[in-house]
Chains A and B, each alone.
Chain A
Amino acid sequence: MNKLIIRRIVATATAAAFAAGVAIGGGATPSTAATETPVTGGTLQYFTHSEQFPALDPANMYTGRDIAFFGAYIHRTLVQYRPVAGAAGSSLVPDLATNTGVPSNKAKTWTYTLRKGITWEDGSAITCADIKYGWSRAFATDVFTEGPAYALAWLDIPEGAYAGPYKKTGQDLFDKAIVCSGDTITFKLKRSVPDFNYFLTYPTTGPIKASADTGDKYDLKPLSSGPYKIQKYSINDELVMVRNDKWNKSSDPIRTPYPDKITVTFGLNEDVRDQIVLDDSKPNAISLDALQPANNIKFFSDPANADRRMNNYDPYTSYLAANVSKGHLDCLLVRKAIFFAFDTQALINLSGGVVYYGEPGDSPVKPVLGMDYAPTTGNIHDPNYKIDGNPEYAKTLLAQAKKSCPTAYNRATNKSQGVIYYRADTAGNKKAAVLVEAALAKAGIVVNTVYKPAGTYNANLTAYKKQTDILSGGWGADWANASTVIPELWGEGCCNYTQNKTTNEYKGFIRNVNKALVELDREKQAKMWHSLAQFGMDQYWYIRTVFGKSQQTWGSKIGGIYYWEPQGSFGFGQIYVKK
């Protein structure tokens, strides 16, 4: 499922979890963080249109913004991303553990040792049993349904055999999969997971004190292991965090708390929210949301705001998936013709420019994923590619298609049928659809846009994908490994909208995907992803990809702010309020 949109409550394009990568030009993080001395004290305020965080309970936490936010303040995990700007931010550092994990048995076993002196907000020590209990909660699918499911997929427990800590069915199996021995915790996995340690940055892998667990209600007041603790959390009102005096700097190598108090105001009217940003009326406050499009362009075009904003690649690649199953876009030449006829420039202009739109992409893997990204050949690098469309070339491709796959050709050029394109019924989509239809018409391709109710569009994607020829979606990696991209989008994962399941060619592709997933040599694994990405792009499974961007804004008295690439969000832990 398209996680960007399927997530409830996240009303704006804040980030979902993803990891590592290289810094991309175009976006700019103000350099103030490096040069100024952080100020301790004061109140740091955040505000948002949403009425609550999707989750405070680690077991339900999946969006990058929230992981970055609560990871910086209250939820510690065994390992963390390095809290710095740029590519270095995507490397792992120990947090509750003393190391970033020791793999053995072909990465089927991972071992961690807990740090000394780590405590909960009630003063009690964080133990190995707490980590283990925290992991067990992911299995209680009768209580938690919104967190990542990697624990269930990887731990060496037969599927469905363990029902979590509340029902305790299959507890013995769980106890064998995670073993505590003093301060050492060992995870036993079903298969090799070379990138297991990246998953340990997710709060769902962190500790939970069993005696403090209140099940579903834990979300309202989770016990803190970080430098702040929750004083008040009132949905659609505010979250107030104050310093946790039981937290100890000597046991935490990565966090240095600055503000005395941190508040989040929920449920702000969108116009009020934007006005606060435009007027800088709350200089010590940060918006957790993106501005509304018109206000966004207004704010970002005013040089006076240069110190209060940033614009970066977000974790997402958006794409148009071609349905390649029989009777749909099963002809490569037709798919290519659509690709080359596309007028990307018109869509960029519609969204206010490349600054807000993002850039045409050449892979489902985004450059921010680092070593797993390599430029592909063909597609946007093809000499025939023009950003404002090349209908002439598309016509020559169609002319070939007329001979080699007449059925698909007829479908795409026949006025009474055309290429079926299901879109959510929104004003923006309607404008875009006109541009798309016009561009493809120049090449003789008929687009038959079908509008579906916007509110239920995403919930129905699974049904739509079999009916439409083109489906739009977006995807962000869970961490800096294409293992959380290519298998999901083109393999047997959740969100393969290309419908390609049968051909021998495709079966070979899947075999290679599964090989790459368990490849222990990271360099070699990266090369395997490169060739898999190239394969799919050569097949034009995606007939358009865009590397998206996101914009953030804050008040003039905010210091220490930077873009934390692995989470696609602020590095919250270093933010302070200037005097």
Chain B
Amino acid sequence: MSTFLEVKNLHVTFPTEDGAVLASNNVSYSVALGETLAIVGESGSGKSVANLAVMGLHNPHRTQISGEAILHLPEGPIDVLSAAPETVRRLRGKAMSMIFQDPMSALHPFYTIGNQIAEAWALYNEGSKEDGIKRAVEMLDLVGIPDAAKRVHEYPHQFSGGMRQRVMIAMALVNNPSLLIADEPTTALDVTVQSQILRLLADLQKEFNMAVILITHDLGVVAEVADRVSVMYSGRIVESAAIDEIFYNSTHPYTRGLLNSIPRVDNHGKGTRLRAIPGQPPSLISVPKGCAFAARCEFISHVPGGLCIASNPDLLEKAPDHYSRCHLTGAQVIDIAAKNLAHQDNGAK
């Protein structure tokens, strides 16, 4: 698999009256064609911010961006962060596409969906308006909208939420992009619809051999489709690994917290109590000197000398191709977590 997008040392800062908000702090990740990278985190963790920067969708007057985001295009690599805005615009929709969380508001209410898809198609294709509509019908068929030839002339509000997200996907894929960034694509949808959409995304990814970045706060979603996972917390990536590593050998207390907060039916056959992570993420304006997660971390007592408060751990490879940002070693984390689980299970009895 060849790497398509490579993000390196991405910083995104929003200057505000109260101070600069460092929303994305030295973030690096990459995704290859045919691969699905899930970026996971709570809202405000910077997962959307980083990807909007890649798409060039931040207001340049109100955002400071540094770092690199290289697209490996057939005609050669290009750093979209330093490229001219017009160049990046011509990559949008064609090389990279994005779909958003709320399909209710992401489609223009005054235009038919056919019109909106055809408009995207016409940007990179020669052809009449009819050709565009024809292409839209094909795409709607592809994303599983029944009776597409008729529905292509309808308006967004005439579609259900799931159908609208299908329309969004159809629109995003109409120009065969190499990268699809899906920003919480299922969050606003019913649970049953969620998995349909995720399956659709997975199918389409195979068909088009796309690189997909799935931004989500929901590890359940990740489990279904992701190949690799990067977990973000407070603007930083705190853990990054293949999907199974994350689920079974997570080496970061925050990821562990996230895993504990989702319902799971695993092969232990035991019900475990769901636990939310206590507390709130720190402000992004005055980033603490130490570990950003320290204030909420259940493992902090295992780190001697107040190290968590004093210094921020680096993102280190704790296992092969498994990176984690914690003062504890990977083995320590796994060990402590297992003890806690046993203790909790005893308590439950």
- Chains A and B touch each other in the complex, with CB atoms below 8 Å apart: no
